[in-house]
């Protein structure tokens, strides 16, 4: 009513009220604009597919880089990755009955390292206390042979122990620098540090002036029921799958093939009605590990329908991509995908440039249609 009257007919009180109300309208309009412009990217995928690693790269690439203090915060995680990993190797060596190369040196040390309590955080002093023992064990051929037979671990090691992740070898090969007092992790060390995500973590980031909101979720089975909480107002889904895990079993039950599990999750998400009209991007990650793996392991042993060259990276990638693609019920568009290596900053910089253009174009088109 007041808006139909000229301000000359309003009392002083009404004028103040009207000015306040206009201010609120302007604020709401601005918030709405920002909200509509915010690009919300949801990172989904099974545990250990590389979602959090991809996000670390987004921080590095888009000006929220890790300074010395934030790199130092990764030390306990790296210590824990090494200690837990070595405990699994010791347990597996026993069960695989692989003789020690130097039993006089290693047998007793192994028992001591195996007894370390990993339920609490490991600080520098605690790690350095065991450091020489870990180094000695890694130098013994028995542990190296055990590591090479790691595919068999899932069947034999204690179920309460975490299976060694993909970064264990990297850390064991870099032990000497990690064993220094006052060691500061490099960015590459930080990118290899493994800590499973619990719950939902939001990372707002401005990229070329556009507000982006990256949403990282935990991918392990126990974490997935929480995913639906962040399904509103999604601009795009980045689905990560580890392409190198065709011969590995799930950490959670140690019997389901990881790539099958990953495909099943993909099938649910890609066909989810709420996501029908948003940009959907598949990252077949861990290309570096897949490239190494196809040299020695034949995918045919796990997927008998594979009928090309099992040692050709391209053929194996094509086969894995097709496994995912065949899960899509809507065949009207091509599956937008990239083969990535999330620990490689330059690779992710390149891939994200192209992904960003696609997302922004799709976003613009959908805003224009509204």
Ligand X SMILES: Nc1nc2c(ncn2[C@@H]2O[C@H](COP(=O)(O)OP(=O)(O)OP(=O)(O)O)[C@@H](O)[C@H]2O)c(=O)[nH]1
Residues assigned a catalytic role: 48, 53, 194, 216, 220
Q: Smaller CB distance to Mg ion: residue 52 or 244? A: 52
> How far is it, in rounded angstroms, from Cα 155 to Cα 15?
77
Burial of 20 (0-12, 13-18, 19+ CB in 10 A): exposed
Q: How far is the CB of 45 from ligand X (least distance, A)?
A: 6
The binder of 85, among Mg ion, ligand X, none, by C-beta within 5 to 8 A per type, is none
Q: How far is the CB of 16 from ligand X (least distance, A)?
A: 52
Q: Which stretch binds Mg ion (CB under 5 A): 118-126, 192-200, 256-264, 340-348?
A: 192-200
Q: How far is the CB of 287 from ligand X (least distance, A)?
A: 6
CA trace torsion 62, 66, 67, 68 (10° rounding): -160
Q: Where are the alpha helices (DSSP H) in the chain?
A: 12-37, 51-61, 68-72, 75-96, 103-114, 124-139, 141-148, 153-156, 168-173, 175-178, 187-192, 258-270, 287-296, 313-325, 345-369
Which among 289, 190, 182, 285 has a CA at the least distance from the CA of 242?
Answer: 285
Structure-token match 């707002």, residue found: 204
The binder of 317, among Mg ion, ligand X, none, by C-beta within 5 to 8 A per type, is none
220 interacts with Mg ion by CB under 5 A: no
The binder of 185, among Mg ion, ligand X, none, by C-beta within 5 to 8 A per type, is none
Interface with Mg ion (CB under 5 A), residue from 39, 46, 48, 52: 52
The binder of 167, among ligand X, Mg ion, none, by C-beta within 5 to 8 A per type, is ligand X
Q: Smaller CB distance to ligand X: residue 236 or 341? A: 341
257 interacts with Mg ion by CB under 5 A: no
Nearest residue (beta carbon) to ligand X: 219
Q: Which stretch binds Mg ion (CB under 5 A): 6-14, 76-84, 178-186, 196-204?
A: 196-204
List Cβ neighbours of 168 (8 Å cut-off, separation of 6 or more).
81, 82, 85, 147
The binder of 165, among ligand X, Mg ion, none, by C-beta within 5 to 8 A per type, is ligand X
DSSP string covering 266-318, please? HHHHHT-GGGTTSEEEEEEE-HHHHHHHHHH--GGGT-TT--S-TT-HHHHHH
Structure-token match 């030390």, residue found: 75
Q: Smaller CB distance to ligand X: residue 75 or 133? A: 75
345 interacts with Mg ion by CB under 5 A: no
Contact residues for ligand X, defined by CB under 6 A:
45, 47-53, 165-167, 191-192, 194, 196-197, 218-220, 285-286, 288-289, 341-343
The binder of 338, among ligand X, Mg ion, none, by C-beta within 5 to 8 A per type, is none
> How far is it, in rounded angstroms, from Cα 145 to Cα 117?
25
List Cβ neighbours of 336 (8 Å cut-off, separation of 6 or more).
279, 280, 281, 282, 358
Interface with Mg ion (CB under 5 A), residue from 197, 223, 251, 298: 197
Number of residues that bind Mg ion (CB under 5 A): 3
Q: Smaller CB distance to ligand X: residue 55 or 113? A: 55
Q: How far is the CB of 368 from Mg ion (least distance, A)?
A: 34
Q: How far is the CB of 146 from ligand X (least distance, A)?
A: 20
Return the sign of the alpha-carbon dihedral for residues 147, 150, 156, 162: positive
Residue 301 in contact with residue 257, Cβ under 8 Å?
Answer: no
CA atoms within 13 A on the CB side of 249: 15
Name the site residues for Mg ion (rule: CB under 5 A): 51-52, 197
């Amino acid at each position: 009513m007041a808006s139909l009257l000229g301000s000359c007919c309003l009392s002083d009180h009404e004028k103040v009220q009207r000015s306040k109300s206009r201010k609120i309208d302007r604020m709401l309009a601005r918030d709405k604009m920002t909200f509509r412009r915010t690009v919300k990217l949801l990172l989904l995928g099974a545990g250990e597919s590389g979602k959090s690693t991809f996000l670390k790269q987004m921080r590095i690439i888009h000006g929220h880089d890790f300074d010395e203090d934030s790199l130092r915060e990764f030390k306990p995680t790296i210590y824990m990755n090494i200690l837990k990993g070595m405990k699994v190797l010791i347990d597996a060596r026993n069960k695989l009955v692989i003789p020690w190369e130097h039993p006089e040196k290693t047998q007793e040390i192994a028992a001591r390292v195996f007894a370390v309590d990993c339920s609490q955080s490991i600080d520098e002093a605690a790690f350095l206390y065991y450091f020489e023992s870990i180094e000695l064990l890694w130098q013994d051929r028995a542990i190296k042979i055990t590591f090479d037979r790691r595919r068999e671990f899932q069947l034999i090691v204690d179920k309460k122990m975490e299976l060694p992740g993909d970064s264990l070898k990297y850390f064991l090969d870099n032990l000497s620098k990690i064993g220094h007092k006052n060691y500061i992790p490099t960015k590459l060390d930080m990118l290899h540090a493994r800590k499973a995500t619990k719950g939902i973590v939001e990372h707002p980031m401005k990229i070329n002036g556009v507000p982006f909101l990256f949403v990282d979720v935990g991918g392990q089975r126990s974490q997935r029921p929480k995913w639906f909480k962040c399904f509103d107002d999604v601009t795009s889904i980045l689905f990560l799958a580890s392409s190198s895990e065709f011969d590995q079993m799930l950490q959670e039950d140690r019997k389901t093939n990881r790539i099958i599990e990953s495909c099943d999750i993909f099938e649910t998400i890609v066909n989810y009605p709420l996501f029908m009209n948003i940009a959907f991007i598949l990252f077949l990650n861990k290309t570096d590990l897949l490239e190494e793996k196809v040299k020695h392991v034949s995918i045919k042993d796990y997927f008998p329908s594979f009928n090309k060259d099992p040692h050709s990276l391209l053929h194996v990638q094509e086969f894995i991509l097709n496994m995912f693609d065949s899960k899509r019920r809507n065949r009207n568009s091509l599956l937008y995908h990239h083969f990535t290596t999330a620990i490689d900053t330059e690779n992710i910089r390149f891939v994200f440039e192209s992904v960003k253009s696609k997302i922004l174009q799709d976003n613009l088109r959908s805003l224009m249609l509204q």
